[in-house]
Amino acid sequence: MNIVSAFVIFAVTWFLALYCLLPVGIRSQEEAGEDVPVGAMRGAPAKANLKIKAVGATIISAIITAIIYYLITSRIITLGVLEGVFGA
């Protein structure tokens, strides 16, 4: 596995993890009891916590990338195994 493959796996898993973490812990402005300005949506998040979610996505994707790296370099997953699974 070269560095480009590892980066692609990391990037794909990072965005997937971020999209999964986005709705976690979100409260709307209306639920938080804040004053909603005129013209604003009531369902807009009061506090999105994007920094914490980005760090969480980084940790999750680093773990997943490390597992995939181990599986490929130790030859647990090879093209032959994938051909057998997907019937290529």
pTM above 0.85, yes or no: no
Q: How many Å apart are CA 20 and CA 1, to the nearest integer?
A: 27
Give the three-state DSSP class for 20.
Answer: helix
User: Looking at the chain, how many residues does it have?
Assistant: 88
Max CA distance (Å), the chain = 61
pLDDT tens per residue across span 39-80:
878 788 888 899 999 999 999 999 999 999 999 999 888 878
**Number of structural domains the chain divides into:** 1
Q: Tell me which residue range forms the domain holding 11.
A: 3-86
pLDDT tens per residue across span 7-35:
999 999 999 999 999 999 888 888 888 88
